[in-house]
Amino acid sequence: MKKILLFAGSNSSTSINKKLIQYVADNIKEAETEIINLEDYEPPMFSVDIEKEITSPESIQKLVKKFRNYDGFVVSTPEHNHIPPAFLKSILDWLSRVHLHIFEDEPRYFEDKPLLLLSTSPGKGGATRSIEHVEYLLSFGKPKLIGKFSLPSFNHNFEDGKITDQELDQKLKDLIKKLESEV
């Protein structure tokens, strides 16, 4: 069976993006799923000085090696002041440098593998500005982006671990089907 890795770009223990990720995992039936906590791979805040000293954090290399075991990915991003949280940006900056220094002749970390990109926030925008930035930042990993979905007004549209708005729910489930067929 194909394997899909899912994670949210949040370091909040009560993250709504983690809840959305769990819902997507619950709805993937045609592949094995694993959810990781990105905090478990948290490197130091990106810095050129640290990069000169250590080249690439162990946790980032571990993350790239983990990605190789999966056939597809689901990533959900929060929005802080219209852009991804610094926590996620720092990790994506480190990831953008890893092939420069460590895995030079190897495929990029998401090379041609299907990616479903998600976002949510309590506001009406559902983090639609942040998702555009994350699409760009993840393009360094060369994924095959199969779709994007932003869940607006999380507290209104999500209850008991499920999306309550039928139309939004169907939209997401159609993308999940697409992901299952592309892995």
Ligand X SMILES: Cc1cc2nc3c(=O)[nH]c(=O)nc-3n(C[C@H](O)[C@H](O)[C@H](O)COP(=O)(O)O)c2cc1C
Binding site for ligand X (CB under 6 A): 8, 10, 12, 15-17, 78-82, 121-123, 125, 127
Smallest distance from ligand X to CB 9, Å: 8
Smallest distance from ligand X to CB 10, Å: 3
Q: What SS3 string covers 126-151?
A: CCHHHHHHHHHHHHHHCCEEEEEEEE
Tokens for 20, please give them.
């959305």
Smallest distance from ligand X to CB 5, Å: 18
Q: Which is nearer to ligand X, 10 or 56 (CB)?
A: 10
∠ Cα 94 89 26 (to 5°): 100
Tokens for 61, please give them.
């290399």
Smallest distance from ligand X to CB 162, Å: 17
Cβ count within 10 A of residue 79 = 24
Q: Which is nearer to ligand X, 13 or 166 (CB)?
A: 13
The number of angstroms, rounded, from the C-alpha of 118 to the middle of its chain's C-alpha atoms is 7
Smallest distance from ligand X to CB 168, Å: 16
Q: Which is nearer to ligand X, 39 or 58 (CB)?
A: 39
Q: Which is nearer to ligand X, 34 or 39 (CB)?
A: 39
Cβ count within 10 A of residue 15 = 19
Q: Which is nearer to ligand X, 16 or 115 (CB)?
A: 16
Cα(50)–Cα(106) distance, rounded to whole angstroms?
A: 23
Could you tell me which of 161, 108, 162 has the C-alpha nearest to residue 137? 108
